[in-house]
């Protein structure tokens, strides 16, 4: 622990260092196998590190996780869907920074959570009416009303720009659009990789990313790599039905955390 403290300049208890050194595994798994599970990492890192630093440390970890996902699954990317969503996400990202002048992150998070819960409810009712699950290959894959693409793209950009909470929003969109698991992971990875890179200059300007936070990031690289490799193993063995169920449950948990 003395080496860790001297290397980073952070004097943390043993339990906090344990979280920091292993949290990357959760990011790696979330990016390559179980979208949405990173919500647990966000909570744990906020417990282990000072609030502002946890945000600055997490962004490079998420980007590294995106790199592993893109590198492995890029052939499965639905470019048409991605390029349709990104322009509206850029608008949402810009709107988020403008709205931050009047609305704080803490004020926005419950609103986003409530919207996700409402849309999850609508999604479940729709599934019962149609008597079939979303996300099954061959069942309307990619057939989404243009309005929903605009809505989810904008909301995704707004959520990631203001509250780092676009995960459940975009997970729900990809489920509604009927994405099989590999196109789901690949397209989501490219979406978040692009948005996260755009956030780097802002975080640098706000001082959220610093020399100290980057030194902490160096310690998390092995953990992210191990988690990504484990994710590769998991995604090859999890069925589409279990994948969809896990995404829905994690989106629900993430939305509840935003609300409360």
- Predicted local distance difference test score (pLDDT) of residue 47: 86
- Predicted local distance difference test score (pLDDT) of residue 2: 79
- Helix 51-73 to helix 38-48 angle (10° resolution) is 150
- Predicted local distance difference test score (pLDDT) of residue 132: 46
Q: Residue 67: CB partners within 8 Å, gap ≥ 6?
A: 193
Q: Of the ranges 104-113, 159-168, 245-254, which is most confident?
A: 245-254
The pLDDT of residue 134 is above 50: no
- Predicted local distance difference test score (pLDDT) of residue 55: 83
Burial 56-74 (b: 16+ CB within 10 A, else e): bbbbbbbbbbbebbbebbe
Q: Burial-class residue 253 by CB neighbours within 10 Å (0-12, 13-18, 19+).
A: middle
Q: What is the pTM of this model?
A: 0.86
Give the containing element (helix H, strand E) for 118. helix 105-130
Per-residue pLDDT band at 130 (split at 50, 70, 90): low
Q: Phi/psi class of residue 164: alpha, beta or left (left: φ > 0; alpha: ψ in -120 to 50)?
A: left
Structure tokens at 202: 């802002």
- Helix 240-259 to helix 38-48 angle (10° resolution) is 40
Mean pLDDT value across the chain: 85
pLDDT, tens digit (0-9, with 9 covering 90-100), for 46-71: 889 987 788 889 999 999 999 999 99
pLDDT, tens digit (0-9, with 9 covering 90-100), for 95-125: 877 776 677 666 767 877 787 787 777 667 6
| Half-sphere exposure for 197 (CA within 13 Å, toward CB) | 9
pLDDT, tens digit (0-9, with 9 covering 90-100), for 181-219: 999 999 999 999 999 999 899 888 878 899 999 999 999
């Amino acid at each position: 622990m003395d080496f860790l403290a001297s290397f980073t300049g952070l004097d943390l208890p043993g339990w906090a260092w344990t979280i920091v050194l292993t949290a990357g595994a959760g990011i790696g798994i979330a990016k390559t196998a179980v979208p949405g599970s990173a919500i647990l990492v966000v909570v744990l890192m906020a417990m282990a590190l000072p609030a502002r630093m946890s945000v600055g440390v997490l962004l490079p970890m998420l980007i590294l996780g995106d790199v592993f996902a893109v590198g492995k699954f890029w052939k499965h990317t639905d470019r048409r869907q991605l390029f349709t969503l990104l322009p509206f996400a850029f608008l949402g990202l810009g709107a988020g920074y403008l709205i931050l002048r009047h609305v704080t992150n803490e004020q926005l998070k419950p609103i986003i959570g409530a919207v996700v819960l409402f849309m999850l409810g609508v999604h479940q009712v729709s599934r019962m009416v149609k008597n079939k699950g979303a996300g099954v290959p061959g069942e309307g894959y990619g057939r989404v009303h243009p309005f929903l693409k605009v809505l989810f793209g904008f909301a995704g950009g707004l959520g990631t720009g203001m509250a780092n909470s676009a995960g459940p929003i975009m997970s729900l969109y990809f489920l509604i659009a009927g994405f099989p698991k590999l196109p789901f992971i690949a397209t989501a990875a490219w979406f978040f990789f692009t948005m996260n890179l755009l956030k780097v200059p802002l975080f640098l300007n706000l001082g959220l990313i610093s020399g100290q936070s980057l030194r902490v990031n160096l310690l998390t690289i092995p953990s992210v790599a191990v988690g990504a490799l484990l994710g590769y193993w998991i995604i090859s063995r999890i069925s589409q039905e279990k994948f969809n169920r896990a995404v829905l449950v994690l989106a629900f948990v993430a939305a509840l955390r935003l609300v409360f």
